[in-house]
Amino acid sequence: MTQQIQESTDRALDHPPAEQLASSGAALQGSGTFVDNGWDRWHYLVLPGAPGVLTLQLQIADVITWWKRIEVHASFFGYWFPIRRLETANGTKTASVDLTAADAQSGTLKLDFWKAGFLGVPSYITTQVLDVECHLGKTVVFLCSRDNPSQP
């Protein structure tokens, strides 16, 4: 178990520097799948939202029972700092947060996706980078539809 924790931590720390990620901020449009690795499957959907606000929403399918988390970071002075967390656990299937341009001074957000691994140990999945300006006035929904190969 200690090795699994270390491997998860190593993957999470193996992110490019804030400047490199900030320059690659993505503008998501429509819908799509951004993780489908035979084990996990994650989708996104961009919908109209409140003017001047970026709403991030985490949803999990009914077949999912273990917790999922999105850690939201903003870049300040070349470093990423956590500013929000979305999490589903204990029967909760949806979590959301509203953000404004002031919440992400650099204009870029880094979203780290996590799930409960073996014995509930946090297991890193992937990172998405969002350009805040492109997403103001929108709701971006992230849906986990599968977290093990036996699920459809």
What is the structure's pLDDT at 25? 56
Report residue 3's pLDDT band, with 50, 70 and 90 as the boundaries.
very low
Distance (Å, whole) CA 65 – CA 23: 36
Task: Report the residue count for the chain.
Answer: 152
Q: How many C-beta neighbours within 10 Å does residue 23 have?
A: 10
Which residue, chain included where needed, has tokens 């991030």?
56
Cβ pair 129, 24 in contact under 8 A:
yes
Provide φ and ψ at 103, rounded to 5°.
-70, -25
What are the pLDDT digits (tens) for 13-35?
444 433 333 344 568 889 999 99
